[in-house]
Amino acid sequence: MGRTLIDVAAGQLTMRENDKVEVFNVYCTLKLPSIYEELSAITVVDQIVESQVVVPEDPLERVLIGYEVEGDTEAQEIETCLNLALVDTRKPQVESLDDELGAPPKPSIEDAPKLELKTLLAHLRYAYLATNETFHVIHSAELSELQVDAALRILKRRKKAI
């Protein structure tokens, strides 16, 4: 089992693994030129990983895990097929904006649609903001005529916003 000791006052990093001991002077190590790359832990890890990588035999598996397929014609064909499957070859279904849409419909406040009203529960009633039973409002059946009229007056003033 390895141990690491850090002596902040001395600026030393001591790493022990079994019978091996490495002492790094942190202040000197930081000043070393980049040619001492092999001292970095990342390089050591990369070398270990590269030595243990097993190349799959199946070309599909090589393509799916992102392994280099240069020079492998079968794997390159599979990669090409998979890349083509990602491309959407369907024609976009968008309507042309050049078509004539005709006159815009009139706002419902000017030309109110005739709606088929459903039967309400016993505690609810319809009231109308306009003539010919248009612009219906549902209110409580417990409200008095005076309360319904007051509510309708307010709603009629705000009819355009509704």
Q: Where are the domains of the chain?
A: 3-52, 56-86, 124-157
User: Which secondary structure element, helix H or strand E, spans residue 6, and what is its range?
Assistant: strand 3-7
Residue pointed to by tokens 């001991």: 21
Cα–Cα distance for residue pair 90/107, rounded to 1 Å? 38
For residues 124-145, average pLDDT = 85
Is the pTM higher than 0.85? The answer reads no
User: What confidence score (pLDDT) does residue 146 get?
Assistant: 92
SS (H, E, C) 77-90: HHHHHHHHHHCCCC
- pLDDT tens digits, one per residue of 83-129: 765 555 555 666 666 666 677 777 777 777 777 888 889 999 988 88
Name every residue whose Cβ is closer than 8 Å to that of residue 59 and which is 6 or more positions away in sequence: 69, 72, 74, 75, 78
**Which structure tokens are listed for 142?**
């417990």
- pLDDT tens digits, one per residue of 55-93: 778 888 888 887 787 888 888 888 888 776 555 555 566
